[in-house]
């Protein structure tokens, strides 16, 4: 078993244990492997280990990987764009990715909808919430959610699937849980209004357990699967 395969198996065990501790089924939580800056060979190892969902932060890098695996005839993968999205890069996300986690304004959602090719299923989108109110983070305030969700839900080329957040780092489990619970409550309110909403993208390596306990349905794990970043990020989004 390769190191990456071993890491994926370990993370899946952690997800299962965290889910079972709070009375949830392990299948309720999807592992999103954050493959940004990682070479195709590392992704190939993850695919061989059964991983199918991958997250990319940089548009061009992600598109190159998507094209590479498509041309190799590898099917069944889902590609998630999880980085901040500039308007001039929206077309590539609309044309190549399956998901966008970082919708935080109507203009971006409308562009993604307009630019989604007619022959493809609507792009799955998540609204990003700046749950810790950090100036350096993208995302809307929780009190802005109802308005933006109502607008996004009317767009034909995208499909509102839920929420995403990147909480401020906390080392204390209870503090991690309290913030995650705020997101879960907003998610549950959104689910009540929109039946297609089913995804709360919340939790990374250091706060995954608390996020799952609060109700996360998708955790984003990078370093714990692929190791430390080996190349600097590209200066583009």
Domain boundaries of the chain, sorted by first residue:
3-226
Q: Are 112 and 100 in contact (CB under 8 A)?
A: yes
| Dist CA 158 CA 37 (whole Å) | 27
Kindly report whether the global pTM for this prediction surpasses the value 0.85.
Answer: yes
Task: Provide the pLDDT for residue 133.
Answer: 82
pLDDT at residue 137 in the model: 77
Q: How confident is the prediction for the chain on average, in pLDDT?
A: 94
* Residue pair 32/220 in contact by the 8 Å Cβ criterion: yes
Task: With a cut of 70, say whether residue 230 has pLDDT above it.
Answer: no
Q: Please state the rounded mean pLDDT for residues 80-96.
A: 96
Instruction: Give the tens place of pLDDT for each residue, 132-159.
Output: 887 767 899 999 999 999 999 999 999 9
**CA–CA distance from 114 to each of 139, 151, 176, 194 (Å)?**
21, 14, 37, 21
Closest CA to 93 of 72, 70, 117: 117
Q: What's the pLDDT at 108?
A: 97
**Model pLDDT, residue 132:** 84
Give the model's confidence band at 126: pLDDT under 50 very low, under 70 low, under 90 confident, else very high: very high
Domain 3-226 class?
Answer: alpha beta
């Amino acid at each position: 078993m390769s190191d990456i395969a071993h890491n994926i198996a370990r993370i899946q065990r952690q997800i299962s244990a965290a889910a079972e501790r709070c009375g949830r089924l392990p299948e309720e939580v999807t592992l999103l492997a954050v493959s940004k800056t990682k070479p195709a060979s590392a992704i190939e190892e993850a695919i061989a280990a059964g991983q199918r969902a991958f997250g990319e932060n940089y548009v061009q890098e992600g598109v190159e990987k998507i094209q590479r695996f498509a041309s190799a005839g590898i099917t069944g993968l889902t590609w998630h764009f999880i980085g901040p999205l500039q308007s001039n890069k929206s077309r590539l996300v609309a044309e190549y990715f399956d998901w966008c986690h970082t919708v935080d304004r109507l203009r971006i959602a409308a562009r993604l909808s307009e630019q989604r090719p007619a022959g493809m299923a609507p792009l799955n989108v998540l609204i990003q919430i700046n749950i810790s109110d950090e100036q350096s983070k993208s995302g809307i305030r929780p009190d802005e959610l109802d308005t933006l969700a109502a607008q996004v839900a009317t767009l034909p080329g995208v499909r509102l699937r839920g929420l995403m957040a990147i909480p401020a780092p906390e080392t204390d489990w209870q503090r991690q849980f309290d913030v995650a619970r705020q997101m879960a409550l907003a998610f549950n309110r959104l689910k009540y209004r929109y039946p297609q909403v089913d995804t709360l993208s919340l939790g990374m390596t250091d706060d995954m357990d608390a996020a799952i306990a609060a109700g996360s349905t998708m955790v984003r794990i990078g370093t714990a699967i692929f190791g430390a970043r080996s190349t600097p990020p590209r200066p583009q989004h």
